[in-house]
Amino acid sequence: MGEPMSVLEAIRTRRSIARMKPDPIPREVLEQCLEAAVWVPNHRLTEPWQFFVLEGEAKRRFAEIRRNFRRTQLPNPDAPEAQAALEKVYQDTVQTPVIIVVTSRITEDPELREEDFWSTFGAAYAFMLAAWSYGIGTYFRTGGLRDYPPLREFLNLQEDRRIIGILYVGYPAEIPQKRRTPASEKTVWLGG
Ligand SMILES: Cc1cc2nc3c(=O)[nH]c(=O)nc-3n(C[C@H](O)[C@H](O)[C@H](O)COP(=O)(O)O)c2cc1C
């Protein structure tokens, strides 16, 4: 598994990885990252998350669902160029080594509901950092696919669960550059 990089280095250097190598990811590394994810801060310790790790046949089924969803968004889905784009969605998805659907519970209490979603995203981010510290890239995506009924049916999701995002996981083929505004321009120090 090798030595993970420091937390600070992982935070600073992690990027969303769109282009991944097809190399498989060892199960024990994924388990380590999931075990790290659940140590996110969590008000009232509700532990609202559940992760669906898709590999093999499940990933192929997910790829079909993702392609079908994309189809619903195209103005002219039967045009030849649309076919190529839809095939690319399918291929990109099946070639991603691991896909993790991150879900959170939905409570009646609006305050708790919001906090549960924050925590679950925090868990996803902790997973992303842990993975990156082992040299594994991730891409967290949201969008309308989260609420697409066939995806919910495939996962057999109960009414009280929401998909908060989908994590695409694999070794980076390319690490893009991104920019950030320095925190000093976003920070107000008071009283010092
Ligand atoms: C809550 C959340 C939702 C996101 N959803 C999407 C998405 O649907 N599609 C996408 O391409 N990127 C999505 N991203 C990734 C961002 O585009 C990415 O983090 C941003 O470009 C900064 O790049 P970096 O992660 O490499 O620093 C999402 C990120 C977050 C935090």
pLDDT tens digits, 139-167: 999 999 999 999 999 999 999 999 999 99
CA of 140 to the centre of ligand 1 (A): 6
**Binding site membership of 122 for ligand 1 (Cβ less than 6 Å):** no
User: What are the start-end ranges of the H helices in 38-180?
Assistant: 56-73, 80-95, 110-133, 149-155
DSSP-assigned beta bridge partners for residue 49: 104
* 60 Cβ inside 6 Å of ligand 1: no
**Three-state SS for 183?**
helix
- Tell me if 158 CB under 6 Å of ligand 1: no
**Which is it for the CA torsion 119, 27, 95, 170, positive or negative?**
positive
Is any ligand 1 atom within 6 A of the Cβ of residue 61? Answer: no
Cα of 16 to ligand 1 centre, how many Å?
A: 7
> Domain residues of the chain, as ranges?
7-174
Distance 71 CA to ligand 1 centre (A): 22
**Cα 192 to middle of ligand 1, angstroms:** 35
The one-letter amino acid code at 72 reads T
The rounded radius of gyration (Å) of the Cα atoms in the chain is 18
Q: Which two tokens stand for residue 44?
A: 């009232």
**CB 37 within 8 Å of CB 123:** yes
3-state secondary structure of 42: coil
**How confident is the model at residue 2, as a pLDDT?**
80
Strands across the sheet with 98-105, in order?
49-54, 98-105, 161-170, 137-141
Both tokens assigned to 130: 């842990």
CB 53 within 8 A of CB 98: yes
CATH, domain range 7-174? 3.40.109.10
Tens-of-pLDDT digits for all 192 residues of the chain?
Answer: 788 899 999 999 999 999 999 999 999 999 999 999 999 999 999 999 999 999 999 999 999 999 999 999 999 999 999 999 999 999 999 999 999 999 999 999 999 999 999 999 999 999 999 999 999 999 999 999 999 999 999 999 999 999 999 999 999 999 999 999 999 999 999 998
Residue whose CA is at the smallest distance from ligand 1 atom 18: 16
pLDDT value at residue 126: 98
Interior/surface letters 169-186, b for 16+ CB within 10 angstroms, e for the rest: bbbbeeeeeeeeeeeeee
> Which of the listed residues 132, 139, 142 should we mutate to test ligand 1's pocket, taking the one with most ligand atoms within 8 A of CB?
142
Residue having the nearest C-alpha atom to atom 31 of ligand 1: 140
What is the end-to-end Cα distance of the chain in Å, rounded? 45
Cα-flanking dihedrals φ and ψ of residue 96, to 5°? -70, 125
How many of the other CB atoms lie within 10 Å of CB of 38? 14
Per-residue confidence (pLDDT) for residue 147, from 0 to 100: 97
CB 144 less than 6 A from any atom of ligand 1? no
For residue 4, the model assigns a pLDDT of 86
CB 86 within 8 A of CB 64: no
- What's the 191 CA to ligand 1 centre distance in angstroms? 35
